[in-house]
Amino acid sequence: MFGKRLLSGIILIALALVLIIPGGYVLLFSTMALSLIGLFELYRAFSLQRSILALLGYIFTIVFYINFIFPVFGPDAVAQSVVFLFIALLIALLAVYVFTYPKYEPANVFTAFFGVFYVPVMLSFIFLTRQMDKGYIIVWLIFLASWGTDTFAYCVGVLIGKHKMSPKLSPKKSVEGAIGGIAGAIVLTFIYLYIFRNEANLQIPDIVFLSVSAGAGGFISMIGDLAASGIKRHTGIKDYGKLIPGHGGILDRFDSVIITAPIIYYFAVFLSRS
């Protein structure tokens, strides 16, 4: 099991390099594909994957990503275009609820709407971060913060973990592991940015700020991980899918990345404007 998980992890890192380094359309459409698969997995957990509500979610995902190329209201109004798309999606979901009543519960509509924000929109910040100035360097902080925290938390937790962080939701996660994961992400990010400081035109205070930001992202990534686990427990599933051997589905592997990506993006935006 460990060997299969390790091999899958190596392949994932290789794919990340191949897709993220070029950026542009390659990253945009690969992120869209990941979003569609992740959204399908989430909808399947709630038995909505083949419903009209889910179909609207898939359509929204495609239109949402194409909007980065051809914004509805023009290149200077991408944010307004996104808001418009969300309003249109909500109206469409409510229309399905009304005209098929009582086929769907209100919770189904809320789940369908939540899903498109939780998966496609949150994952899109990988692409948005890569598009920033020096984004080809900054974007890796998302993975250092999320996967780095996860790796260090596991190692520290196995070695000295005693106090359970969330005993009912995830009995194996410990407070010591969480602290070790955050500290590991900070150190790893500092080393990474220090190596590329000249390339990214970063001063030591900038590196410290982004390293602490990665630590904050690491803390939030654990919330994302636990939240995804909570959804699995609530819906009675073990994994979201079997696409990645040893890891599960897209959401099983990207549950922490989903919530970390926007945090790193906005910390980077804040630094660029300060």
Res 229 pLDDT > 70: yes
Task: Determine contact, residues 232/224, Cβ cutoff 8 Å.
Answer: no
State the number of CA atoms in the 13 A half-sphere of 55 facing the CB.
5
**pLDDT band per the 50, 70, 90 thresholds, residue 3:** low
Cα–Cα distance, 123 to 19 (Å, whole number): 14
**pLDDT band per the 50, 70, 90 thresholds, residue 238:** confident
Q: What is the pLDDT of residue 102?
A: 94
Q: What is the pLDDT of residue 38?
A: 96
Q: What is the pLDDT of residue 80?
A: 87
Q: What is the pLDDT of residue 60?
A: 97
Indicate whether this model's pTM tops 0.85: yes
Task: Determine contact, residues 189/148, Cβ cutoff 8 Å.
Answer: yes
Q: What is the pLDDT of residue 264?
A: 94
Q: How many helices (H) and strands (E) does the chain have?
A: 12, 2
What integer is the mean pLDDT of 193-201? 92
Both tokens of residue 4? Answer: 């299969």
Res 77 pLDDT > 80: no
Q: What is the pLDDT of residue 6?
A: 58
Q: What is the DSSP string of 76-133?
A: T-HHHHHHHHHHHHHHHHHHHHHHTTTSS-HHHHHHHHHHHIIIIIHHHHHHHHHTST
Task: Determine contact, residues 197/134, Cβ cutoff 8 Å.
Answer: no
For 123-143, the pLDDT digits (tens) are: 999 999 999 988 999 999 999
State the number of CA atoms in the 13 A half-sphere of 45 facing the CB.
26
Query: In which region does residue 163 sit, left (phi positive, over 0), alpha (psi from -120 to 50) or beta (all else)?
Result: beta
Task: Determine contact, residues 125/262, Cβ cutoff 8 Å.
Answer: yes
Q: Domain segments of the chain: what residues?
A: 22-131, 134-274
For 5-25, the pLDDT digits (tens) are: 556 667 777 888 888 988 899
Q: What is the pLDDT of residue 174?
A: 86
For 42-54, the pLDDT digits (tens) are: 999 999 999 999 9
**pLDDT band per the 50, 70, 90 thresholds, residue 248:** confident
* Phi and psi torsions of 171, nearest 5°: -60, -25
